[in-house]
Amino acid sequence: EDPWQTVSASAIAYDTGWNVPHALEEEEIQQVIGRFVEAAKRAERAGFDFIELHAAHGYLIFQFLSPLSNQRTDRWGGSLENRMRFAVEIARAVKKAVPNLTLGARLSVKEWVDGG
What pLDDT shows up at residue 105?
97
Q: Is the backbone of residue 98 left (phi > 0), alpha (psi -120 to 50) or beta?
A: beta
> Active site includes 59?
yes
> Which residue type does 30 have?
Q
Give the mean pLDDT of the chain. 95
In a domain, 112, yes or no: no
Strand partners, 110: none
In a domain, 23, yes or no: yes
In a domain, 100, yes or no: yes
In a domain, 95, yes or no: yes
In a domain, 40, yes or no: yes
Q: Give tens-digit pLDDT for 89-99.
A: 999 999 999 99
Number of domains in the chain: 1
Among 20, 59, 79, 96, the active-site one is 59
Q: Give tens-digit pLDDT for 6-49.
A: 999 999 998 899 899 999 999 999 999 999 999 999 999 999 99
The crossing angle, in degrees rounded to 10, of helices 26-45 and 80-97 is: 40
Q: What is the pTM of this model?
A: 0.92
Task: For residue 50, give its domain range.
Answer: 7-107
In a domain, 81, yes or no: yes
